[in-house]
């Protein structure tokens, strides 16, 4: 890998480079032999946030939480009451439903599953779900009859 960086004249920051480690933080994700996890330090910041009181606050929260959406099953479905407030001509009323969605997302971030790295020698499974306002999917693989997620995806319509 270092040879390839050298060949392409890619400059590396040696203070940020770590070699021969069992785990580390890369782009806000904890990488280990178990798989990919959320960085607990980043989640602590999100957990301390009060519920948004402005449209700008909603955008900020959804950007932070959305960074880890690949770990949260039904992210779009859960966040729907909050994202509804961003729609044009929608009154800004942070209802009990919005507060519940906000709390649920924060809770799911603290209990986010470990995502495994794909093994391209094994078959993949894709499970999909949809309703009137969101679609969702999870890709994963079975290891010893247990399904392990690789990536969650969801989108509001």
pLDDT of residue 121: 95
Q: Is the pLDDT of residue 85 over 80?
A: yes
Each residue of 7-58: pLDDT tens digit?
A: 898 888 878 777 777 888 777 788 888 888 888 888 888 888 888 899 999 9
Lowest-confidence range among 10-24, 49-63, 67-81, 114-128? Answer: 10-24
Percent above pLDDT 90 for the chain: 33
Q: Which residue has the higher pLDDT, 89 or 19?
A: 89
Distances (CA, A) of 122 to 117, 118, 119, 142: 12, 8, 6, 8
- State residue 132's pLDDT score: 86
pLDDT at residue 49, as a whole number: 84
Domain extent at residue 67: 2-156
Q: What is the model's pLDDT at position 6?
A: 83
Q: How many domains does the chain have?
A: 1
**Top-confidence range, 3-7, 31-35, 67-71, 102-106:** 102-106
């Amino acid at each position: 890998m270092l040879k390839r960086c050298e060949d392409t004249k890619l400059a590396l920051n040696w203070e940020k480079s770590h070699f021969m480690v069992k785990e580390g933080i890369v782009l806000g994700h904890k990488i280990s032999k178990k798989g990919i996890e959320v960085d607990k330090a980043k989640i602590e910041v999100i957990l301390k946030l009060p519920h948004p009181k402005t449209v700008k606050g909603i955008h900020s929260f959804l950007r932070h939480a959305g960074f880890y959406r690949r770990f949260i099953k039904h992210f779009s479905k859960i966040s729907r009451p909050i994202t509804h407030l961003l729609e044009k001509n929608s009154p800004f009323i942070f209802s009990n439903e919005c507060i519940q969605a906000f709390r649920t997302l924060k809770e799911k971030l603290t209990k986010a599953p470990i995502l495994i790295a794909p093994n391209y020698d094994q078959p993949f499974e894709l499970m999909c779900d949809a309703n009137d306002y969101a679609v969702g999917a999870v890709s994963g693989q079975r290891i010893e009859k247990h399904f392990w997620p690789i990536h969650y995806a969801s989108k509001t319509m």
